[in-house]
Structure 1
Amino acid sequence: MSVVADVAAYEAWLRMHCNVVERGLKKKHKRMAKSSLLFFRATCFRFARQLPVIAPDLLRAPVVTCVGDAHIENFGTWRDGEGRLVWGVNDFDEAAWLPYTVDLVRLATSARLAGNLPIAAKDRARAILKGYRAGLRRPTPCFVNEQAPWMVRHVAKAAAKALPLSHDLSHLRRATPPAEVMRLLVGRLPDDARVDRLGAWQKGGGSLGRPRYVAVAFWQRGMAVREAKALVPSAWDWARGMDSGDHLFTRLARGGYRSPDPFLDVEDEYVVRRLANDSIKIELSEHTLPAYGASLLRAMGADLAAIHLGKTGQQEEVLADFDARGEDWLDDAAKTMAAHVDRDFSVWQTHARRRDESI
């Protein structure tokens, strides 16, 4: 199927699983036409459909609990139960049981699509592989200050350049969440917090179109904010024509080698989390670009390994398969997949332009 047909088919499926916000889908469609990386972020379902056809050999690998939507902008920070600043994957909407190679290929493909990183394309894949191997041998959370002091500057710069949460909330559209969502939001605020306002917004990349509600409260003379985002089955379920109903979000977020965000939870088909200035998704920008070198890509690979080994005990099995693949397999696969993404992106741009002209 063409990418345009796949987008329509996936969105029809999405409407069966949540009350889709149509203006969010329109926003998503516009973002998809801006760059191949944004297009890639928004079309995990297309990647899930194409990978088995384009590179079936990559699927002959040990199956683990995968992120499903690994990419270079799916990492961020949070505070764990001890208040330590942790960095790693912070979105598991598309989590699924998959060959471990899937996450590596998707991450490396996103790194190749981000053409202006300060490291050669081939070296990006090698850095991810090096980090993944280290993570397999010693899986661990990434504590920014204790274990990765080199990352402090990257995180600080991202936080300094990001608009403060109060600015984002100034654009919150007032809305009353459904009763069950209201219960989730208010129930996760401090007991004596005073709710100031409720609203809804559309944020993110691939999740645009899904309902997202926010409760803004005041507690101890400061803001306390909670968000609830609709969780639907993984795009990999859609691509495989199945509906397992088995959400792996919490399993991965609280894996054995994670130091989880205590405010992140899933209940009643919603992901609920605390929003704060130190709990941010770090996205590629002119300010963060210099940090996207070998060290950061190695850290991304290592974090994927820690997630894959979270509760499965497959260390030796995965390591044996990994070592048998050599040095260039990931770069070759990323190059192939990126070429397909670029072609889809070009088709989508033409479709978007014709649609705009017809309005």
Structure 2
Amino acid sequence: MTPSIKDVAAAAGVSVGTVSNVLNRPEKVSPSTVERVHEAIDDLGFVRNDAARQLRAGQSRSLGLIVLDSGNPFFAEVARGAEDRAAENGMTVLLGNSGHDGARESAYLDLFREQRVRGVLLTPSDLDSAVLASTGIPLILVDGETPAANLPAVTVDDVEGGYLATRHLLARGRRHIAFVGGPPSIRQVADRLAGARRALAEVPRAHLEVITTPALTVLAGRAVGEQLAARADRPDAAFCANDLLAVGVLQGATILGSIRVPDDLALIGYDDIDFAQSTVVPLSSIRQPAHAIGATAVDLLLESIADPSAAPRVVRYRPELVARASTGA
């Protein structure tokens, strides 16, 4: 049986209140009593129930982070940025993975509310302002914003990112460009495609082909790469909605197929994950400051906690083109 605070008090020959003071306000207890209580704690193997103490106090030292895909290195770096900034402020991060599922997202929001977290950092699967506004706890949107909900947010201009990627391919002389990404219901995918269309509209006789994928994964990209390798009328460039897709396309087209990158197919991804520069052909990409996004989200949460009446602040980062060998750079 797990020892309780009553067991510690009995072993040390003191009251439960004295044990509580030793744990929370040791300056109010004589050094000899503190020593005796700690000896009892060590002998019994007592572990304080910090979660229960925080619940009684009505708040915790934790915050929640809900991302769309914890397996994506981009979101892993966002989480690392949030954890680093939270640690600087004596807080911890509880991570939830929604998997692009609105029901799972809602379940995590309920769970974090029950845990009395100080607030939640959320990459929303659906920018439903009614749902977002009814959480009852401080909420910071990460990699998304919705003016209707009037919430603080940290975001990146994905339309501009899609424009930069496609303009780069056009500048390399490519005219039949495939956009690889999906599902299209994901806002980031839709915005990056919108940016690609904007760039194509500036160049006469350029053509955009949209290849929809069921997921933003390496396996989904590999299937596209194999399909491209089997086509006679394949595009001469591909813009993938994230780096995982681009890595998969590279594998399917070059390792499992006969396409040469960048000679036959110029290829660019999005996010600039660490692995992008280490692929067989170093991958061009659109960089997002993932670590800074996570850290900034925590900053906005702390601002919201300190002054709940303050006007919500939105921080927008600009994407950056990183050209490597996969586009002939």
TM-score interval w.r.t. the shorter chain?
under 0.3
Taking structure 1 as the reference length, the TM-score comes to 0.22
Taking structure 2 as the reference length, the TM-score comes to 0.23
Structure number with greater Rg is 2
